[in-house]
Amino acid sequence: MRNEEIRHVASLTMRKLILLAVVFVSVSAGASAQTKVNVKFARGAHSVTLRGSVSGYEYVDYLLEASSGQGMSVSISSSSKFPQFVIFDKNMANLEGSHGDTYWWGRLPSDGTYTVRVLLPRSDARRKGSKANYSLLIKIF
Protein backbone atom coordinates (compact mmCIF):
# COMPACT_ATOMS: atom_id res chain seq x y z
CA MET A 1 0.00 0.00 0.00
CA ARG A 2 1.11 3.49 -0.66
CA ASN A 3 1.28 6.13 2.05
CA GLU A 4 -1.86 7.85 0.74
CA GLU A 5 -3.85 4.61 0.91
CA ILE A 6 -2.59 3.90 4.43
CA ARG A 7 -3.64 7.39 5.59
CA HIS A 8 -7.06 6.95 3.96
CA VAL A 9 -7.65 3.58 5.69
CA ALA A 10 -6.41 5.01 9.01
CA SER A 11 -8.74 7.99 8.59
CA LEU A 12 -11.75 5.73 7.93
CA THR A 13 -10.87 3.55 10.93
CA MET A 14 -10.58 6.63 13.17
CA ARG A 15 -13.97 7.93 11.95
CA LYS A 16 -15.58 4.58 12.73
CA LEU A 17 -14.05 4.58 16.23
CA ILE A 18 -15.27 8.14 16.88
CA LEU A 19 -18.76 7.26 15.64
CA LEU A 20 -18.79 4.14 17.82
CA ALA A 21 -17.71 6.22 20.84
CA VAL A 22 -20.47 8.79 20.21
CA VAL A 23 -23.09 6.03 19.95
CA PHE A 24 -21.81 4.39 23.15
CA VAL A 25 -21.91 7.66 25.10
CA SER A 26 -25.42 8.43 23.80
CA VAL A 27 -26.74 5.01 24.79
CA SER A 28 -25.01 5.16 28.18
CA ALA A 29 -26.40 8.63 28.91
CA GLY A 30 -29.90 7.48 27.99
CA ALA A 31 -29.65 4.37 30.14
CA SER A 32 -28.60 6.34 33.21
CA ALA A 33 -31.30 9.00 32.89
CA GLN A 34 -33.00 9.64 36.21
CA THR A 35 -36.30 11.25 37.18
CA LYS A 36 -36.55 15.05 37.16
CA VAL A 37 -39.45 16.91 38.76
CA ASN A 38 -40.06 20.66 38.41
CA VAL A 39 -41.16 22.00 41.80
CA LYS A 40 -43.89 24.63 41.84
CA PHE A 41 -45.13 26.32 44.99
CA ALA A 42 -48.85 27.01 45.29
CA ARG A 43 -49.71 30.70 45.01
CA GLY A 44 -48.77 32.40 48.28
CA ALA A 45 -47.16 29.24 49.70
CA HIS A 46 -43.59 29.11 50.98
CA SER A 47 -43.32 25.35 51.31
CA VAL A 48 -44.12 22.20 49.41
CA THR A 49 -44.24 18.55 50.47
CA LEU A 50 -43.28 15.99 47.84
CA ARG A 51 -43.62 12.24 48.11
CA GLY A 52 -41.76 9.60 46.16
CA SER A 53 -39.54 6.56 46.29
CA VAL A 54 -36.01 5.61 45.31
CA SER A 55 -34.45 2.20 44.85
CA GLY A 56 -30.95 0.97 44.23
CA TYR A 57 -28.74 3.56 42.61
CA GLU A 58 -31.71 5.52 41.20
CA TYR A 59 -32.29 9.09 42.28
CA VAL A 60 -34.91 11.80 41.85
CA ASP A 61 -33.97 15.41 41.07
CA TYR A 62 -36.34 18.12 42.27
CA LEU A 63 -35.66 21.41 40.44
CA LEU A 64 -36.77 24.78 41.78
CA GLU A 65 -36.06 28.41 41.03
CA ALA A 66 -34.79 30.62 43.84
CA SER A 67 -33.03 33.94 44.33
CA SER A 68 -29.78 34.96 45.92
CA GLY A 69 -30.12 35.60 49.65
CA GLN A 70 -33.32 33.63 50.08
CA GLY A 71 -33.36 31.09 52.87
CA MET A 72 -34.15 27.48 52.12
CA SER A 73 -34.69 24.48 54.33
CA VAL A 74 -35.03 20.89 53.19
CA SER A 75 -35.97 17.86 55.29
CA ILE A 76 -36.68 14.28 54.37
CA SER A 77 -38.42 11.54 56.31
CA SER A 78 -39.12 7.89 55.65
CA SER A 79 -40.77 5.06 57.55
CA SER A 80 -38.33 2.51 56.15
CA LYS A 81 -34.71 3.08 55.17
CA PHE A 82 -33.53 6.64 55.32
CA PRO A 83 -32.99 8.21 51.95
CA GLN A 84 -30.71 11.24 51.83
CA PHE A 85 -30.49 14.33 49.69
CA VAL A 86 -27.86 16.55 48.16
CA ILE A 87 -28.51 20.14 47.08
CA PHE A 88 -26.84 21.52 43.96
CA ASP A 89 -26.68 25.11 42.73
CA LYS A 90 -27.24 26.14 39.09
CA ASN A 91 -23.72 24.94 38.20
CA MET A 92 -24.36 21.53 39.83
CA ALA A 93 -21.91 22.28 42.66
CA ASN A 94 -22.89 20.97 46.11
CA LEU A 95 -24.16 23.57 48.53
CA GLU A 96 -21.97 23.53 51.60
CA GLY A 97 -23.20 21.12 54.26
CA SER A 98 -25.98 19.64 52.12
CA HIS A 99 -24.48 16.28 51.19
CA GLY A 100 -25.95 13.08 52.59
CA ASP A 101 -28.29 14.81 54.98
CA THR A 102 -31.85 14.42 56.20
CA TYR A 103 -32.11 18.14 57.16
CA TRP A 104 -30.45 21.29 55.79
CA TRP A 105 -30.96 25.03 56.18
CA GLY A 106 -29.06 27.88 54.58
CA ARG A 107 -28.99 31.08 52.55
CA LEU A 108 -28.82 30.63 48.80
CA PRO A 109 -25.70 32.13 47.18
CA SER A 110 -27.11 33.01 43.73
CA ASP A 111 -30.16 33.29 41.51
CA GLY A 112 -31.04 30.24 39.47
CA THR A 113 -32.24 26.67 39.44
CA TYR A 114 -31.43 24.58 42.49
CA THR A 115 -31.57 20.79 42.43
CA VAL A 116 -32.50 18.69 45.45
CA ARG A 117 -31.38 15.13 44.64
CA VAL A 118 -32.93 12.32 46.70
CA LEU A 119 -31.03 9.03 46.81
CA LEU A 120 -30.18 6.09 49.01
CA PRO A 121 -26.87 5.93 50.86
CA ARG A 122 -24.41 3.77 48.93
CA SER A 123 -24.47 1.05 51.61
CA ASP A 124 -28.23 0.66 51.08
CA ALA A 125 -28.22 1.24 47.32
CA ARG A 126 -25.97 -1.71 46.59
CA ARG A 127 -28.27 -4.17 48.40
CA LYS A 128 -30.54 -6.02 46.01
CA GLY A 129 -34.15 -4.92 46.32
CA SER A 130 -33.38 -1.81 48.39
CA LYS A 131 -36.16 0.76 48.19
CA ALA A 132 -37.36 3.66 50.32
CA ASN A 133 -40.55 5.71 50.22
CA TYR A 134 -40.06 9.27 51.45
CA SER A 135 -41.63 12.62 52.14
CA LEU A 136 -39.55 15.68 51.20
CA LEU A 137 -40.36 19.11 52.65
CA ILE A 138 -38.84 22.16 50.93
CA LYS A 139 -39.32 25.66 52.37
CA ILE A 140 -38.27 28.95 50.80
CA PHE A 141 -38.33 32.16 52.86
Give residue-wise pLDDT tens across range 35-66.
999 999 999 999 999 999 999 999 999 999 99
Residue pLDDT, tens place only, 91-104: 999 998 888 879 99
> Is CATH 2.60.120.380 the right assignment for the domain spanning 35-140?
yes
> Helices (DSSP H) in the chain: which residue ranges?
3-31, 122-125
**Range 1-7 contact pairs with CB under 8 angstroms and sequence separation of 24 or more:** none
What are the residue boundaries of the structural domains of the chain, listed by start? 1-33, 35-140
Task: State the pTM of this model.
Answer: 0.75
